[in-house]
Structure 1
Amino acid sequence: MTLFENNLMLRGFLTRDVEVHSSNGITEDAFAVLSLATMSGTWNVATNEWTSRITSHRVVCPGPWFCGFTRGMRRGDYVEVEGELYVHDYERPVVVEGERFTAKRCVGEVRALQVRKLERPLVVIDTGVDD
């Protein structure tokens, strides 16, 4: 048993083409960005209906290897990502009634450790039950 763990497994569809530098701009600190949509939901007992929820995740794929691997991925591709949750704060200027303030915003993203392109399923059915 490990004392601390930070593991994520996401499987879903890309909502846009992968953001990646051109071949000339790839350096050791380069990264690619995936926008991955996952679906989940809840069963409302009162109305006897399934209410689905689609969540979009920002996935950062660090390093030149990921830049090359993800370059051909396009909107609608079915992918699986293993990674870690990374949360950071950043400050941004906000103007309220003519006065400037600095507001902190907490942002979460997934840092990819592994990305797999999967075969697109013929039919997508979410029963709400994990197999």
Structure 2
Amino acid sequence: MNLFENAIKLRGFLAEDAKVPPSDGITEDAFSVLFLALMSGTWDIATNEWAPRTTVHRVVCPGPWFCGFTRGMKRGDYVEVEGELYIHDYDRPVVVEGERSTAKRYVSEIRAIQVRKLDRPLLVIDTGEDG
């Protein structure tokens, strides 16, 4: 048993084409970026309806191997990502009432360890009792 664990597994559809450097720009520090869209939601008791929500997660795929693997991935591809969650901050300039200052902005991303392209699932649509 590990005392600490930073592991995340996401499965969803790509929100846009993979961002991959050109072939001549791939070095040991190269990386590709995927934007993975996930559906979730909540049940609104007051209206007795499902309120869907889509979130998009930034997935950084480090290294030349990932650059080659993700090169052909397009918007709508169904993928599974295993990786680690990273949160980092940076100073962002802010102007309040004419005065300049800085504010910390926190950004989260997934650093991929493994990416799998999956077969697109068959979607079953419930059309209700009328057909």
Tell me if both proteins adopt one fold, taking TM over 0.5 as the criterion.
Answer: yes
C-alpha distance in structure 2 between counterparts of 1:37 and 1:45, whole Å: 26
Name the count of aligned residue pairs.
125
Q: Identify the residue that residue 40 of structure 1 maps to in structure 2.
A: 40
Spell out, residue by residue over 1:51-73, the C-alpha distance to the aligned partner (whole angstroms, 9 max, x if none).
11111000000000000000000
Structure 1 unmatched runs, 5+: 126-131
Spell out, residue by residue over 1:95-119, the C-alpha distance to the aligned partner (whole angstroms, 9 max, x if none).
2232211110111100000000011
Change (3 A) 1:24 1:38: same
Task: Kindly provide the amino acid, as one letter, of the partner of residue 8 in structure 2.
Answer: L
Q: State the SS of the aligned residue for 1:103.
A: strand
C-alpha distance in structure 2 between counterparts of 1:40 and 1:83, whole Å: 20
Q: State the SS of the aligned residue for 2:58.
A: strand
Q: Identify the residue that residue 103 of structure 1 maps to in structure 2.
A: 103
CA RMSD in angstroms, aligned pairs only: 1.2
| 1:1-131 equivalences in 2 (<5 Å) | 1-123=1-123
- TM-score (norm. length: structure 1): 0.90
Structure label with greater radius of gyration: 2
Q: Which moved more, 1:90-99 or 1:62-71?
A: 90-99
C-alpha distance in structure 2 between counterparts of 1:124 and 1:110, whole Å: 30
C-alpha distance in structure 1 between counterparts of 2:103 and 2:43, whole Å: 37
C-alpha distance in structure 1 between counterparts of 2:35 and 2:97, whole Å: 35
